[in-house]
């Protein structure tokens, strides 16, 4: 029996979260768990109630949405569900950037948290949200990850990239203490060489994690290394994959390396966890208590089940800077209506999320380096950079194309910030920065963040 994990779950975390910090995260989690076995009708009723509250607030207190309502001749009470919601225009990524100030609420709850996206489409975005939204996000995360069998306080390994952002020593110390108490161990997944993977294997043996959380492609590469070298010395470890799509070949090798408990999740920094697999591994359950998901076809109408549609999100609890009908640049496929999962949960499911893999770069010695390094490097620079793309040429050199935000030149400090990341992860590789007016999209409508010439 894991006495420390039980102590964290039963005493330390509740005392800290609910007592000292007075945050309602655990109350939200209890509400989510109560809804977990609700019927689809009950879930839709809950979602409509949350949507109505958001729309009333946005119309009353957010200039951008008040203007949109007026232009459409709508009142908040006119919108009873997703059909009427479609009368409001889609918020594109560019529109989200341009309207950022106008979408900030003029009355509480005000935005208290500021983040930037990783820029998976090559366009980083500043996002803001209020504390109430954060409580919902954390509760949704705890519930969704709990479907894997992991519980807070269990030892875990997080094989993620590191967002290179300057922080105070106090903030860093607080984060390290928090991770230590929860037994969360973080390893940067950007280096992809065999020596680095051997270090990760050693950490798995030392930590004996109850779950591994990883970028999908980084986890798959680690799994291939484990299978190739015969390094597996453990039983089943649940693996929770995010940030990129889990392809069938990736799932197969992850199961070889860690066992059959491989869970795909889908999320974005704008709203955090959107959908995730349960133990049946039959589609991704949409976290509809916190986010309303629409899939839109090329003609602007809802995509039918089985068809690829553009993901359009409404964050039901971000009152500080609402994201209503926000197109995050992803494509997904919905499962048939009324298809009930064997787990008994009635939440609608996504069959797949398309187009989220990131290209792999090579350092001077030919070792692989995850292309996500540029997403992470540009993430804090959303206010200075509108678009970016890294092109690795046949000779190994890299050209980083940058579109400045607001025209003009990219600040030298921003270039130096990215150059430092390149020097850290791609030592010795020549890197040239080029300011351009635009970076054309591919035929699918998405911009490639990393292009590797062959």
Per-residue pLDDT of the chain (454 residues), as tens digits, is: 688 888 988 898 888 888 888 889 999 999 999 999 899 999 999 999 999 999 999 999 999 999 999 999 999 999 988 889 999 999 998 899 899 999 999 999 999 999 887 655 666 788 999 999 999 999 999 999 999 999 988 999 999 876 555 567 777 777 788 788 888 999 988 777 888 899 999 999 999 999 999 988 889 889 999 999 999 999 999 999 988 888 888 899 999 999 999 999 999 889 999 999 999 999 999 999 999 999 998 888 999 988 888 899 999 999 999 999 999 888 899 998 877 899 999 999 999 887 555 667 888 888 778 777 887 788 778 778 878 889 999 899 999 998 888 777 888 888 888 898 888 888 889 999 999 888 876 654 556 788 888 7
DSSP assigned state of 90: P
Q: What is the pLDDT of residue 319?
A: 98
Instruction: At 267, list the tokens.
Output: 């999320």
Any bridge partners for residue 114, and if so which? 128
3-state secondary structure at position 188 = strand
Alpha carbons within 13 angstroms on the beta-carbon side of residue 13 total 22
**Rounded distance, CA 191 to CA 172, Å?**
22
What region does 381 belong to: left with phi over 0, alpha with psi -120 to 50, or beta? alpha
DSSP assigned state of 302: B
Rounded to whole angstroms, what are the CA distances from 120 to 45, 280, 358, 371? Answer: 33, 29, 8, 10
**Rounded distance, CA 45 to CA 41, Å?**
6
Q: What is the pLDDT of residue 356?
A: 57
**Rounded distance, CA 275 to CA 264, Å?**
9
pTM comes to 0.82
Q: Identify the architecture of domain 360-452 in CATH.
A: 2-Layer Sandwich (3.30)
Q: What is the pLDDT of residue 163?
A: 57
Q: What is the pLDDT of residue 165?
A: 57
Q: What is the pLDDT of residue 444?
A: 45
The distance from CA 301 to its chain's CA centroid, rounded to whole angstroms, is 25
Helix axis angle for 63-72 and 40-61, nearest 10°, is 100
């Amino acid at each position: 029996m894991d006495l420390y994990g039980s102590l964290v779950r039963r005493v330390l975390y509740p005392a800290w979260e609910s007592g000292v910090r007075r945050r309602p995260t655990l109350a939200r989690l209890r509400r989510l768990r109560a809804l977990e076995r609700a019927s689809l009708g009950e879930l839709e009723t809950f979602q409509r109630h949350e949507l109505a509250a958001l729309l009333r607030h946005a119309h009353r207190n957010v200039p951008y949405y008040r203007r949109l309502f007026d232009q459409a001749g709508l009142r908040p009470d006119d919108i009873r569900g997703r059909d009427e919601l479609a009368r409001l225009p889609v918020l594109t990524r560019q529109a989200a950037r341009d309207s950022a100030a106008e979408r900030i609420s003029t009355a509480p709850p005000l935005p208290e948290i500021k983040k930037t996206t990783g820029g998976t489409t090559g366009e980083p975005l500043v996002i803001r949200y209020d504390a109430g939204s954060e409580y919902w996000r954390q509760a949704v995360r705890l519930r969704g990850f709990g479907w894997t069998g992991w519980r807070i306080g269990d030892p875990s390994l997080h094989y993620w990239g590191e967002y290179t952002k300057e922080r105070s020593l106090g903030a860093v110390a607080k984060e390290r203490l928090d991770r230590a108490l929860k037994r969360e161990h973080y390893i940067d997944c950007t280096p992809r060489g065999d020596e680095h993977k051997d270090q990760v294997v050693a950490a798995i043996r030392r930590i004996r994690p109850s779950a591994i959380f990883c970028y999908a492609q980084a986890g798959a590469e680690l799994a291939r290394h484990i299978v190739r070298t015969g390094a597996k010395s453990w039983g089943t470890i649940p693996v929770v994959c995010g940030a990129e799509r889990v392809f069938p070949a990736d799932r197969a090798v992850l199961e070889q390396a860690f066992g059959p408990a491989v869970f795909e999740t889908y999320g974005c920094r704008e709203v955090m966890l959107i959908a995730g697999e349960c133990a049946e591994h039959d589609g991704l359950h949409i976290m509809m208590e916190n986010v309303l998901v629409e899939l839109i076809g090329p003609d602007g109408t809802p995509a039918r089940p089985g068809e690829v549609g553009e993901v359009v999100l409404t964050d039901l609890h971000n009152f500080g800077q609402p994201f209503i009908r926000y197109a995050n640049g992803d494509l997904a496929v919905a499962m048939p209506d009324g298809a009930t999962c064997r787990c008994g949960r009635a939440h609608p499911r996504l069959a797949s999320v398309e187009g989220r893999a990131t290209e792999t770069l090579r350092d001077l010695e030919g070792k692989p380096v995850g292309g996500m390094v540029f997403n992470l490097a540009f993430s804090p620079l959303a206010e200075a950079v509108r678009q970016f793309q890294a092109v690795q040429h046949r000779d190994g050199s890299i050209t980083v194309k940058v579109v400045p935000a607001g025209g003009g030149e990219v600040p030298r400090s921003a270039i130096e910030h990215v150059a430092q990341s390149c020097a850290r992860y791609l030592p010795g590789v020549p890197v040239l920065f080029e300011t351009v007016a635009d970076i054309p999209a591919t035929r699918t409508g998405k911009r490639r963040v990393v292009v590797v010439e062959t």
